[in-house]
């Protein structure tokens, strides 16, 4: 690799010292306009690229931000990452991305990598119910924001959707429209999102006065295929008409496929509803009703919050470090 141009190279070209060049390049007041102009032009001409690592080492600052998710190809995370990347690059930060695959050991390893790289902060969706790594983050005083999920509702810093509302809005709508038989395919209850959507489900039932049948609730769905297989199983045990609420649109697409294969009429026999509002949901057949979560906005807010934390000299009130974004119903043709 060709040798990079350094401050020294520019300096010797101009017969000044490196610090004078540094000052010119950093808009330091202690420098004459003529010198500054001369130096800037030479830097331009020599195609100077500052060495950010050296700068970081010296100033103990950093433009690097770690972003840890379970899986960047999950459309929900993909959207959030897009929001994060947009805000960070706009503010001259750089996103280092890791997929934890929901494995706390990998997550821990990545956090140590990020410490080693001296990152300015970390944005992460903590792996399934793993408490220790978030504790570690707090312990080492690296600015961090959890996104999409939290571990400790009271003490963590996070940006999430109001998952209780999401579960509540969906269930309430289905109860009113289709009655009390609301089957719920939920995700892994180790995740705060799944627990809270369940709470919302229960709340809607409580409000309606209708009894909850725990035999209608299924947990642990993670992939499209789980939605597909669980729905097939459900159809053998529970006879239509009923409503089917899924933890995510992703899961609901699997359910949709199973329902189609069994020639179930949607929404007449089974009213199907997802949560998330991923792009594909508007293009399924029938179009999927869902609860829209602001996935990109969660990324945007997380990045903005992290930057605010990094830049604030005094520590912020915990309340201002917990952002909960509101979901809304998106009724299409499947309910």
Residues interacting with a second copy, by CB under 8 A? 1-2, 4, 49-54, 56-57, 62-64, 67, 71-73, 75, 78-79, 81-82, 85-86, 89, 94-99, 110, 112-113, 115-118, 140-142, 224, 228, 253-254, 256-257, 260, 279-280, 282-285, 287
Residue 330 backbone dihedrals phi, psi, to 5 degrees: -130, 90
Minimal CA–CA distance to 100: which of 142, 146, 163? 146
Q: How far is the CB of 118 from a second copy (least distance, A)?
A: 5
For DNA, the closer of residues 9 and 190 by Cβ is 9
Whole-number Å distance between alpha carbons of 293 and 218: 22
89 near DNA, rule: CB under 7 A = no
**Binds 59, which of DNA, a second copy, none (CB < 5 to 8 A, cut-off by type)?**
DNA
Calculate the alpha carbon distances from 19 to 15, 16, 57, 115 in Å.
12, 9, 16, 29
Whole-number Å distance between alpha carbons of 247 and 245: 7
Calculate the alpha carbon distances from 301 to 92, 98, 199 in Å.
16, 20, 25
**Binds 297, which of a second copy, DNA, none (CB < 5 to 8 A, cut-off by type)?**
none
**Binds 254, which of a second copy, DNA, none (CB < 5 to 8 A, cut-off by type)?**
a second copy
**Binds 26, which of DNA, a second copy, none (CB < 5 to 8 A, cut-off by type)?**
DNA
313 near DNA, rule: CB under 7 A = no
**Binds 2, which of DNA, a second copy, none (CB < 5 to 8 A, cut-off by type)?**
a second copy
Kindly state the DSSP code that residue 182 receives in the 8-state scheme.
Answer: E
25 near DNA, rule: CB under 7 A = yes
DSSP helix, strand, coil percent of the chain (3-state; round to 5): 50, 15, 35
Residue 275 backbone dihedrals phi, psi, to 5 degrees: -140, 135
Which residues are at the interface with DNA (CB under 7 A)?
3-4, 6-8, 15-20, 22-23, 25-26, 29-33, 35, 50-51, 54-55, 57-60
């Amino acid at each position: 690799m060709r040798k990079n141009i350094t401050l020294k190279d520019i300096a010797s070209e101009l017969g000044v010292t490196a610090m004078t060049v540094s000052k010119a390049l950093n808009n330091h007041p202690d420098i004459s306009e003529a010198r500054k102009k001369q130096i800037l032009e030479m830097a331009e001409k020599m195609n100077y690229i500052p060495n950010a690592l050296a700068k970081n080492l010296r100033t103990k600052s950093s433009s690097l931000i770690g972003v840890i998710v379970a899986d960047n190809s999950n459309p929900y995370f993909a959207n959030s990452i897009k929001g994060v990347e947009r805000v960070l690059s706009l503010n001259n930060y750089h996103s280092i991305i890791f997929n934890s695959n929901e494995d706390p050991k990998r997550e821990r390893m990545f956090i140590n990598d990020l410490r080693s790289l001296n990152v300015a902060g970390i944005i992460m969706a903590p792996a399934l119910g793993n408490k220790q790594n978030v504790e570690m983050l707090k312990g080492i005083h690296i600015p961090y924001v959890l996104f999409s999920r939290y571990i400790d509702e009271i003490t963590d810093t996070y940006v999430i959707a109001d998952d209780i509302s999401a579960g509540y809005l969906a269930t309430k709508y289905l109860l009113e429209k289709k009655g009390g038989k609301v089957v719920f395919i939920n995700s892994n209850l180790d995740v705060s999102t799944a627990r809270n959507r369940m709470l919302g489900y229960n709340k809607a039932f409580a409000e309606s006065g209708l009894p909850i049948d725990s035999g209608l609730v299924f947990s642990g769905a993670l992939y499209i295929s789980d939605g597909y297989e669980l729905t097939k199983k459900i159809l053998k045990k529970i006879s239509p008409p009923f409503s089917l609420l899924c933890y995510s649109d992703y899961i609901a697409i699997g359910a949709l496929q199973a329902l189609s294969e069994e020639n179930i009429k949607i929404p007449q026999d089974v009213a199907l509803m997802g949560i998330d509002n991923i792009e594909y949901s508007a293009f399924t057949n029938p179009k999927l009703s869902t609860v829209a979560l602001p996935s990109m906005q969660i990324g945007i807010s997380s990045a903005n919050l992290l930057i605010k934390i990094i830049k604030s000299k005094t520590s912020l009130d915990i309340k201002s470090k917990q952002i909960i974004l509101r979901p809304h119903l998106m009724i299409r043709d499947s309910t």
